Homo-oligomer: A and B are copies of this chain.
């Protein structure tokens, strides 16, 4: 189970672990558990106790907070190479978000004591972890500024660009993720109907094309201009 191939895999897929020594990688591998999750499954739920963190090797996870009337607010996605749940582990608090599988996922579980030990034994690892949280914090602050100051149309344009950047495109140029209109609305922070209407506008103006849930960006420049309100 802890063969050479898999060891290489962990540190190559997850940049966070690239500073680990061979011994540390060995220990990590000996304690890692791999699980497959189906679409719709909950990996951990807001308010529940977390005993380790989750490294996504395959699939797509949406991470959200539950808001008014149980309306979810998506705050992040996790895909191959991303690590989630570490925040609650490190601050020893219950999970502050829910992680739900959007596309069948293969996920490594790392018990929290391993994380703490790595922080103690390897300062480069600690630094990487700090830098990771700092990056996420900046992302969050940017999002706050946007959501507070931009119109729904601007935010939707921005979200579409973000989605393409995050999930890349398939062979036909469509963004490689299946999100419901409701999902999109709970990223943008708006009503589902508003998303639908504005997507319709974008389509009419040939900024995007739509095939069912799939969206293809045709005019990245125009969407950028809209999102930055420079048009």
A residues near B, CB below 8 A? 65, 67-68, 71, 73, 75, 87, 90-91, 96-97, 116, 119-121, 123, 126-127, 129-131, 133-138, 140-150, 188-190, 229
Contact = CB atoms under 8 A, between A and B. Distances in A.
Contacts of A141: 65, 75, 96-97, 140
Identical subunits present:
2
A146 B68 CA distance: 9
Given A126-B127, A149-B67, A144 B90 contact: no
A31 to B, nearest CB: 19
A contact patch SS = helix
B149 A87 contact: no
Contacts of A96: 138, 141-142
B91 A134 contact: yes
B127 A75 contact: no
5 closest cross-chain pairs (CB), A and B: A148-B189, A140-B140, A126-B126, A133-B133, A73-B145
Contact of A90 (B130, B136, B147): B130
Contacts of A119: 123, 126-127, 130
8 contacts: A65-B142, A67-B145, A68-B150, A73-B149, A75-B145, A90-B127, A123-B126, A126-B126
